[in-house]
Chain A
């Protein structure tokens, strides 16, 4: 129980930390440029909106008052109003969230399947050349810019093979390529860590002992090695949610999809500070929730956590 409470507190800390960074980067550093944007934004912006923004951000007040005032508003669910759209940020973000959740969820599923698959194959393939290729595959994956992966997938599966739609939001079929694009770099990290720990396990003293007591190689990899390798893999899977969310900016641009990433990109282009802040905080919240889920699942795969607290 103490473990659960501590992990929940940690998740809260992560979200607070993310909030603090957005505030530091957007409002405080450097030279208060965000406040300049807010107070002196283009002439086509409604004057009453500007006044309300100034009131909200309390730009004339001392820094700590601005910080805590905004923090309280954020905690109560008020993310402010978009400068360019004139609607609450919560509405903008809320509208985009389901699209990104669908994309991220499928991407995560792809990355886990692909990552664990590569790791297992790399450790069990009979041919040495195949093992070598599979072991170096993750680092090749990680060398591909996300936008290039997306474009290649479009070129091959949409334009050449006509299997899947190239762009758009409609239906599950349109989700596959973007999810693959986001999932590939995440799978690389998972594969790297899992393959390495499987390799170390199967070449370590425990595997030697298992061999010596008549356990076959298949059982060593699947029954023993995998049980141990999923422990570091789980941590990486949690971490990869952050990468998938950040990668959504690029994936959604490449595939012309709606979602948080597009909202963020538009926000950066129009220097719409409240929107940028809102998206980053929501992303951090999702990231923290995903890691909380991993943390709570953790004792099931590593008994030393559940009972090993000194």
Chain B
């Protein structure tokens, strides 16, 4: 096939788009390869080439020749620094197929970008320099592709011209690769000897490699069949949006991610266990009899059952997992380390506002060797295997079984940054086997007996701010008014159930998580629970807030300037922190994140604790939690 043939497009093309990723390090010839595809398929126009030629003089590294890497490095910072930072998506079309290429940097510090590019790719082109053979980065790239679920790999052995197109070198490197990749779970591994620079076996078959009988790279990409990937899987329909234009129509809008469904089929919503039948499959272009993987449709059911965004519709015989604990591979993507125990936002399928936490780190994976390394946290670009617990049960499949229903992202609850991405390995049966014991008496009954509205009154602030003093007074006053209360104090809990915890960020998170769970049990028993904890991180306070009902978490910010706390220093801790005897002390060398909108904000400077306690009681009365009279007189 000659270059001109690429220009003649036809509309008989019924093949799907192929989405692939190119892997390779600087110098392997990856950019030249992509540049050649784009150039020879006329995806680059003359004016873009002119710009490229201009940029090549300014930023390029190829002398007079056009530097294709500049085409790929789109951002100013990248061109200035001569490195690829981010994922770029490139498009080109041939008479037989259209392509979307995710071009990502190959360095270890950009593992997150490679994972991003791989997440939507069906195939990976792994570029290897024929002079160097299988290197550490080749292993890393292959491992990440495998982990992200890519099942088809083609090794492009580049720079064959520099080793005189020798068959034995090609055979040796391919044998090396196949041996190494045998446990990565690839369905197909192809290898092609190429020279990106001279177009050997890329667009055209090369005369220099008569010994090679396989297809050239473009032929291979045009003809590989990857259709069946989702078609044979069980039916999964994550509900995105409930379409209710009027009282007579209630449809569930979403995209069939795998399998197929027909009108009349029996379905189940695994989270609730409710069954029904498909009544209609509605589209703008008319009703369908059957919807298949990839179709965006709206489904109506024969019965009115409760379904919302985040539910998955499946067939009763092929159900996904439902669990609130699972094990997963996680890629950490943020500058700030992962904090096990901290409450994070999770997006699992269309469940976009789930919350949960990483309950245990099992190990970190050395991406270069695949070895498991002991670790307590993950840093930027690190991959690990961990246990995760979600606040509510999630519906999912193992990632290996279904990429679309087995993946999730982790979101920082304060900044909303995407901090991690994960692939579910399996549900933790611990959750399945320990069913919640149904109790005959609930919060409602227990509360009614005490004639009060239970809640958590959560004092937060620096050490020495006056939390415990005020909390104690509030407790005494409520007790005097005949309210049933309990006071949980940070120091006391650290002597008891949380005595194994230190002061690291993740131990602080676990301390608060534990305290929150205890406080929640007490709320369930109908008590007014007064808590006094430094609780420096917003994420953990919000986790406790989310654990109880609306209006049951009253955050009291005891706002005392650090200078005043140091002056008071009731426990002599600031002195110790300054002398280095106490490490990671909040306000000294560990952060305190002040609440942005606490229910009650107490400024303590020049105020008497007695008055501040009264302020708290007044606020509780205003919220209808207490009645401002003495209950014994009623």
Q: Do A and B bind each other?
A: no
| Interface positions of A (Cβ within 8 A of B) | none
